[in-house]
C-alpha cells in the first residue's frame, strides 16, 4: 500500500484529482482541518519518540501524560 497526500488551494483542481483517483480505483477523500492537525501531531510524536532524545523512562512518562 502506498499513501499520497496532496494539498492545493483550488477547489476545481481538487475535484479533478478526486475524480481521477476514482477512475484509477484509488481510495481518495478530502481531510478536515482537524484530521490534518491530528495527523501532524501524530507524526511529530512518532518522530520525537524515535529520535532517541528521551530515554525509555522519559518516553513512558510522556505517553502516560497524554492519556
For residue 13, pLDDT over 90 is answered with yes
So what's the pLDDT on residue 48?
A: 79
Question: What does the domain layout of the chain look like in residue ranges?
Answer: 11-66
Q: Report residue 66's pLDDT band, with 50, 70 and 90 as the boundaries.
A: confident
So what's the pLDDT on residue 20?
A: 95
Residue 10's φ and ψ, nearest 5 degrees, are -100, 120
Find the range with the poorest average confidence among 3-7, 39-43, 53-57: 53-57
Buried b (16+ CB within 10 A) or exposed e, 15-24: eebeeeeeee
pLDDT tens readout for residues 16-53 = 999 999 999 999 988 899 999 999 889 888 887 787 77
Amino acid at each position: 500500500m502506498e499513501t499520497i497526500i496532496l494539498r492545493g488551494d483550488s477547489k476545481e483542481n481538487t475535484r479533478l484529482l478526486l475524480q481521477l483517483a476514482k477512475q484509477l480505483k484509488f481510495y481518495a477523500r478530502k481531510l478536515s482541518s482537524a484530521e490534518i492537525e491530528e495527523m501532524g501531531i501524530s507524526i511529530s510524536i512518532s518522530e520525537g519518540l524515535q529520535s532517541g532524545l528521551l530515554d525509555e523512562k522519559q518516553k513512558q512518562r510522556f505517553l502516560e501524560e497524554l492519556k
